[in-house]
Structure 1
Amino acid sequence: MTQARARTLLRDPRYRTFWLGQVTSTLGNQLTIVVLPALVVPGRGPETFGLLLAVESVVMGVLLLVGGVVADRYSRSRVMAVSDVLRLAGVAGFLFFADRGPLLPLLLAAALTGAGAALYEPAHRAALAQVVDEELRQQANAFDSATKRVGGLAGSLLAGLLLANISPPRTLVIDLVTIAISLVTLVWLRLPRVRPQDLEQDEAQGIGAVLAEARAGLAEVRRRPWVSAVMLQGTAQVFFLFGPNYVLVPMVSQQRYGVEAFGWISAATFVGSVLGSLAGARITSKRPGLWAMNALTPCLLTPVCLMADVPLWLFCVAMAIGSVGVGCFMVLWYTALQNEIPEEVQGRVFSLEALASFGLQPIALAAAPVLVSLMGITPFAVLAMIVLLISTYAVLFVPGTVRLASPLKTEPVPAAAR
């Protein structure tokens, strides 16, 4: 991203407020990710910690489609503010019940943070498209992604520093402060709702209405085969490659290089993601889909490093290069959806995108160690490479994927279906 583009974005008070609030929230969220096991495991054991993660993931997955409908019905900044309130309550529950008291309130806290994430994810991407004009969206997505990665890394480092000097509960209080800052910025932002005026007074209620609106979002995806194809690509790659990597990379790195090695690999991954996001902002090709798919190819290096006993520095380089590609892909993909999908259904489409990308991740996390024990690491890595290559380049044969845009202008969905 050029400095001129960055200055243009940050001169806009709406984007500046949106960006600062979300970066602060990202830093605090990373604090909780690092601190929570230090709070839960000593008193309740690793099984309880695993149960908390499972509850949070399940609730998020179940409510994602609802989050998309809500993001399209109401002001997206208010939806994100409600998400912050839910997260605030959830983190407060962690603070009071993580190491003592009945288990049920702790599980409820995990459910609240999962529900908050389900509201946040679709609303955030759709809100960014409201805040920034179309010609700056690619740069805004890159800037948003890069700074959130930096915020995540800073949050991890800050958590380690704070845990070494103050108690875990006091460290968790800082996350409550960051959520409160995000909440204030969203209340100030006050984005207008995008629902057509003629539908504001007669919106249907209930589960049936929510499902009907979710189907309208699905219809927008199905009317654009390239969008459906890339979403299915993400599902396959998360299940066979990116999901298992969360388990296999730390496991293999610890066995080969020691307990400290994963810290170096994680740092390399963060750096690669930031560089990839910034690189994605500079691509101006008329065939961004080709660039996006080629950018995913270096992810083949990770299964190669899982198979071969490479030096730690080479493993770090491979992870960094693969993360550059993923960061670049995500900027181009999110920008394409924001530009292609009608504004009033973007929340539902982004909820479907999140569900397609991460819905199977908990299963992949659980299945990866079992499959590796049955197949061996080398056959599993080869399978992951085959799936990555086929799914990456097969989608280029679907009309619209090369340009990440529909070949012909599609007719809008009738207002009654929205």
Structure 2
Amino acid sequence: MGTSKTTTARAARAARSVPGKKRFWFLWGGQSAGLLGDQMVPIALAAWIVQSPHHSASALGLVLAGRALALALFVPLGGVIADRYPRTRVMMACDLVRFLGVGALVLVPADTPAAALAACTFVLGAGEAFFRPAFRALVPSLVEPDRLPWANSLTSIATTSSGLAGPALGGLLVAFATYRAALVADLVTFALSTLTLLALGRGRPADPAAARASVLHQAREGVRVVVKRRWVFAVLLTDIAHVLLAVAPWLVLLPTVSVREFGPRGYGFLLGAFALGGLAGGLAVMRHRPRRPGLTALCAQILFVGPLLTLLVPGIGLVPLLVVYAVAGAGSEYNTVLWTAALQRAYPDRLLGRVMALSSLASTVLMPIGLAVTGAVAAVTGPAVLLVTGAVVIAATTLAALLVPGVARFADPDPGPDLARVPPVQAGAS
């Protein structure tokens, strides 16, 4: 009893390190700075490698692949770690790992082999893989449940804004200084992130039962509770199908088609319109609270059919395309914010890290395969087949998911499993 009281008192003191709503604002400010810095890194690496006489044209792909590989490998484990240990401490450790990865890029000579640079970006991606689930699982402990869409909207706005401002700022630093200046700026953002996490305090104490269970058994528990909720599992399956058959082909074919029709500037305008639409979508969630968030979110997701099919319209002007892309970007971000809030409300705190990791994995695990095979398939079938297939897959799978009980409301259709009372998977359990 005395140990329990001591643990509770420590958690209470940690929660008071920053009072009230300021706790979320501290977290949001630090992570907004980190997101801005992260967007400078690809610009710095591109400037370094493309302009270097020591690297081939394929070196940039290898270097960027290091981060993507680490994300795919470590996100599931990151969810387990986020549920085993205090999340603010996990995030600070991730900031340190990412600081070391970027710091190594700052210090190594310009003629460093691409494989060694890829190792640095692998370290950077590993830190990000552990950071993401911990961050998303931490937010519900800082705001009231009915404020989760608001909090996730602000996070969405920060992500989208950094996607617009980060490359621009990185480009300026590269142009007026060197690529190393952009990397150093990213190091500064990691320091700011760590300071805000320190201000939040230690957070909830580590779960003794979780610490005794094996990592494998905890990972299995995360999969079990996701599959048990049919509406969650149905939406994750649609995400996997969309990434493989629609999003990946779009990412590969968009530059080919848009550069041919409108030049490189047109390609940039289309990406910018999609990002600005995402910013509007994040703002919309703050003002609109749908009674059936699942129905609204998935209908917004179907808007992504527009960017796929409009690439097939001969002679379409750039202005109509910009409108279509902005609308689709708004729908995509609107869906993401409502979905994240629904997961945060549906699961107890001790499971959130693993659930968030599985949600992130569904959106990334098949992306490398989709990107790799799109070019080969398009060479045989032509881009039109892939784009039409992607549009049909998005519409059909989204409508099919809405038939699953609970999806339209993003909530259990009946009392459902009380996951707060589901005992953790113990080490050695079968």
Into which bin does the TM-score normalised by the smaller protein fall? over 0.9
Q: Structure 2 CA distance, aligned partners of 1:339 and 1:287?
A: 15
Aligned to 2:264, what secondary structure does the other structure show?
coil
For the pair 1:394 / 2:400, whether they are aligned, the reply is: yes
Q: Structure 2 CA distance, aligned partners of 1:195 and 1:390?
A: 43
Residues 238, 358 of structure 1: 8 Å contact kept = yes
The aligned counterpart of 1:21 is 30
With normalisation by structure 1, the TM-score equals 0.92
Q: Structure 2 CA distance, aligned partners of 1:89 and 1:224?
A: 39
For the pair 1:355 / 2:361, whether they are aligned, the reply is: yes
The aligned counterpart of 1:238 is 243
For the pair 1:143 / 2:148, whether they are aligned, the reply is: no
Per-residue deviation, residues 316-375 of structure 1 (Å, max 9, x unmatched): 111111001001101110000000011111100111111111111111111122221111
Q: Which of 116, 128, 131 pairs up with 1:117?
A: 128
Residues 219, 354 of structure 2: 8 Å contact kept = yes
For the pair 1:61 / 2:66, whether they are aligned, the reply is: no
Q: Structure 2 CA distance, aligned partners of 1:407 and 1:194?
A: 33
Q: Structure 1 CA distance, aligned partners of 2:422 and 2:335?
A: 31
Q: Which of 274, 282, 285 pairs up with 1:277?
A: 282
Per-residue deviation, residues 49-105 of structure 1 (Å, max 9, x unmatched): 211222221221111111000000111111111111111111112223373234553
Residues 44, 99 of structure 1: 8 Å contact kept = no
Where structure 1 has 5 or more consecutive residues not aligned to the other structure, the ranges are 1-9
The aligned counterpart of 1:88 is 99
Q: Structure 2 CA distance, aligned partners of 1:320 and 1:377?
A: 22
The aligned counterpart of 1:34 is 43
The aligned counterpart of 2:335 is 329
For the pair 1:170 / 2:181, whether they are aligned, the reply is: yes
User: How far 1:286 sits from its partner (Å)?
Assistant: 2.4
For the pair 1:156 / 2:163, whether they are aligned, the reply is: no
The aligned counterpart of 1:182 is 193
Residues 85, 205 of structure 2: 8 Å contact kept = yes
Q: Which of 263, 267, 271 pairs up with 2:272?
A: 267
Residues 90, 109 of structure 1: 8 Å contact kept = yes
User: How far 1:280 sits from its partner (Å)?
Assistant: 2.1
Q: Which of 39, 63, 84 pairs up with 1:73?
A: 84
The aligned counterpart of 2:6 is none
Q: Structure 2 CA distance, aligned partners of 1:98 and 1:306?
A: 43
Change (3 A) 1:389 1:255: same
Moved more, 40-49 or 397-406: 40-49
The aligned counterpart of 2:377 is 371
Return the letter of the residue paired with 1:411: D
Return the letter of the residue paired with 2:120: A
Q: Which of 307, 310, 318 pairs up with 2:312?
A: 307
The aligned counterpart of 1:199 is 209
Return the letter of the residue paired with 2:209: L
Q: Structure 2 CA distance, aligned partners of 1:154 and 1:321?
A: 20
How many residue pairs end up in the alignment?
403
For the pair 1:224 / 2:235, whether they are aligned, the reply is: no
Change (3 A) 1:416 1:330: closer
User: How far 1:190 sits from its partner (Å)?
Assistant: 2.4
Q: Structure 2 CA distance, aligned partners of 1:122 and 1:101?
A: 32
Per-residue deviation, residues 385-418 of structure 1 (Å, max 9, x unmatched): 1101111110011111011001222122533427
For the pair 1:127 / 2:138, whether they are aligned, the reply is: yes
The aligned counterpart of 2:21 is 12
Q: Structure 2 CA distance, aligned partners of 1:98 and 1:137?
A: 45
Where structure 2 has 5 or more consecutive residues not aligned to the other structure, the ranges are 1-18
Q: Structure 1 CA distance, aligned partners of 2:325 and 2:109?
A: 34
Percent sequence identity over aligned pairs? 33
Change (3 A) 1:103 1:250: closer
Return the letter of the residue paired with 1:226: W
- Computed over aligned residues only, the root mean square deviation of the Cα atoms, in angstroms, reads 1.8
Residues 67, 122 of structure 1: 8 Å contact kept = yes
With normalisation by structure 2, the TM-score equals 0.90
The aligned counterpart of 1:6 is none
Per-residue deviation, residues 220-243 of structure 1 (Å, max 9, x unmatched): 101100000000100000111122
User: How far 1:11 sits from its partner (Å)?
Assistant: 7.6
